[in-house]
Amino acid sequence: SAPQATAMAFADVWPDGGSNTSDLLFDDVFNTSDFTTIMPSTTTTTAAATTTAARRCLRLGVGILMPYVRFYPPSTFKGITVTLMQLLARHLNFCYRIYIVPRNDFGLKLPNGSWTGLTRHIMDKKSDFSLGAIATTYDRYKVIDFTEFISIDEHIVSYIFPSVGPDVLGFIKPYNYPVWGFIFATTIVMILAIVSVNVGHENLQRPKEVTSSPQSVLKRALLSIQDVTFTTLQILLGQGINDQAQTSLLLIGSWILTAFVIGTVYKSNLMSMLISPKVDIPFRNFDELVEYKDMPYMMPGGSYFYKMASKAAPGTTLRKVFDNAAGLQTNQTFIINAIIKGHFSFITYKNSALNGLHNSFTRNGNCSTSMFFDGILQIPQALGFPKKSPWYGKINHIIKRLNRFGIIQKMAHDHTFNARQCLNPVRFARSNLKLRPLSMNDFYGVFAVYAGGTFLGLIAFCTEFIWANCNRKRSKQDPDDIPINNRKELEEHLGCSDA
């Protein structure tokens, strides 16, 4: 059977509602009301149980770090290393008491060489070893022992789940950009092919004795390009063609068939693209995080990441992350609430963020936060022991065996498997897409195209009107009949100078 936890009051240890993380101070005189006591399985023999009761329970300090340890007031602990410790207690037949270190401090080396937090407790043997995983840094390795790693973690950024809204460019989404480029190129090739056929057909029908000036040939070519362009675009847009004689029926027939296929596929996919949501992902890596200005980000105070980023060389990505951070934060309740509300994003361990996604989706069936996978600063997480601890060899041997058989990895998977639902916001939004009536926002992109076409048509109309007006004024008085001295004045007066 599972170990039994005595009902202890932890309200003062881990206050809820976003207040300070912990006010419990470690004292040399241990009061049993400050701990959660875990006894080994009740299936042990009477002699073994008597021996266990005769010796003191182990004191295990813990810093709250998901998914290794998660605390539910007043006295419930869950997580990977909590489950692991239950297995170890049953196998090695020991009981233990859990306490949370003040301010959830895993241990920071001070300028004078001393240590704070859980690392200090382990060094002074106030804690027999750690319940939760501790980041295995070089400085810590010199003062305490570490077991084989529980996991290899790295740092990522956790942020509010991206917003979902109508896609203004949904009308171009039925085809991707290469297909649109292929359609454009095919249209140009078809226009040139039909123009070439028309010009060649005209030259074949013209008598040999009839010659044309280069100006007239260019004029006929331009008129042919204009007519063929309009005809080709009419067919592509499904508007039919003019009732006039066509000399390149084979090319036009093949283009009609091609345009029919293109238009049919486009229209069949247009509706789904219009209602498909647009997901605004703010950043995908640390380089983009530094450049993103719409949301500040914070770092964990006194952490391994903070130490390495503060010592990074100028100009590196890590140093830029340090220089542009909005501040430091260690209160986990405050951090989680601020991320969900979108006040800031936060740099944390990948496994911690995965566990947060898993818990959110498991409870609510929805995603409140997300993260990217392009992490930096990998670091092992392991249990910490005092130097020359009699428990180190026994527990480290078991952890090695559990790692070889993938049991610890299975524990980690059980605490993070639902996180994959929130790792791809675009896929999540589309998988939860429901049929809905189209709104005005869905047509803004189409309306913008029509507005742009109307504007260009208006410019063309004004240009043709002004040009025709100039031609009419010129026809009333031929400049060739005007003396040279007065011709320039007339052209300037009419506003139709060749210059």
Dump pLDDT digits (tens) for 224-275. Answer: 788 888 888 888 887 767 655 566 778 888 888 888 888 888 877 776 676 6
Q: Report, in this order, helix, strand and coil percent for the chain, each rounded to 5.
A: 50, 15, 35
Query: Which residue has better confidence, 439 or 498?
Result: 439
In this prediction, residues 8-22 reach a mean pLDDT of 29
Peptide bond into 73 cis (omega under 30): no
Provide the pLDDT for residue 258.
87
Terminal Cα-to-Cα distance of the chain (whole angstroms): 99
Q: Give the pairing type, strands 164-166 and 297-300.
A: unpaired
In this structure, of 249-263, 393-407, 458-472, the range with the lowest mean pLDDT score is 458-472
Per the structure block, which two tokens stand in for 143?
Answer: 């003062």
Q: Which residues, 6 or more positions from 317, have their beta carbon under 8 angstroms from its beta carbon?
A: 286, 287, 290, 376
Asked if residue 388 lies in contact with residue 122, where contact means CB atoms within 8 angstroms, the answer is no
Residue 115 has pLDDT above 80, yes or no: yes
Long-range contacts of 263-270 (CB under 8 A, 24+ apart): 263/236, 263/237, 263/238, 265/174, 266/174, 266/175, 269/173, 269/174, 270/171, 270/174
| φ and ψ of 374, to 5 deg | -85, 80
C-alpha torsion angle, residues 239, 245, 247, 248 (rounded to 10): 20
Residue 21 has pLDDT above 70, yes or no: no
Provide the pLDDT for residue 346.
92
DSSP state letter for 150 = S
Which range of 23-32, 70-79, 314-323, 445-454 scores highest in mean pLDDT? It is 314-323
Query: Which residue has better confidence, 331 or 138?
Result: 138
Provide the pLDDT for residue 440.
65
Q: Which residues, 6 or more positions from 131, have their beta carbon under 8 angstroms from its beta carbon?
A: 60, 61, 62, 69, 77, 81, 82, 85, 96, 98, 383
E-strand ranges in 125-184 read 129-130, 134-135, 145-146, 151-160, 164-166
Measured distance CA(80)–CA(411) in Å, rounded: 6
Residue 313 has pLDDT above 70, yes or no: yes
Residue 341 has pLDDT above 80, yes or no: yes
Residue 18 has pLDDT above 80, yes or no: no
Q: Give the pairing type, strands 328-329 and 36-38.
A: unpaired
E-strand ranges in 210-344 read 277-279, 297-300, 328-329
Compute CA distances 485 → 90, 480, 481, 489, 490, whole Å. 115, 12, 12, 8, 10
Amino acid at 498: D
In this structure, of 244-248, 335-339, 346-350, 369-373, the range with the lowest mean pLDDT score is 244-248
> Which H helix or E strand runs over 350?
helix 350-364
Asked if residue 276 lies in contact with residue 173, where contact means CB atoms within 8 angstroms, the answer is yes
Which range of 154-168, 175-189, 225-239, 381-395 scores highest in mean pLDDT? It is 381-395
| φ and ψ of 194, to 5 deg | -65, -40
Residue 397 has pLDDT above 90, yes or no: yes
**The Cα angle at residue 353 between residues 350 and 358, in degrees rounded to 5:** 125
Closest C-alpha among 404, 381, 408 to residue 147 = 381
Measured distance CA(11)–CA(437) in Å, rounded: 50
pLDDT confidence tier of residue 38, bands split at 50, 70 and 90: low
pLDDT confidence tier of residue 60, bands split at 50, 70 and 90: very high
Peptide bond into 390 cis (omega under 30): no
Residue 121 has pLDDT above 50, yes or no: yes
Which range of 13-27, 35-49, 93-107, 449-463 scores highest in mean pLDDT? It is 93-107
Compute CA distances 364 → 108, 338, 357, 360, whole Å. 36, 18, 11, 6
Q: What is the mean pLDDT of the chain?
A: 76
Measured distance CA(336)–CA(346) in Å, rounded: 9
pLDDT confidence tier of residue 213, bands split at 50, 70 and 90: low
Q: The tokens 């069936």 sit on which residue?
A: 365
Handedness of CA 142, 147, 149, 155 (dihedral sign): negative
Per the structure block, which two tokens stand in for 230?
Answer: 């309009």
DSSP state letter for 66 = T
DSSP state letter for 82 = H
Provide the pLDDT for residue 14.
27
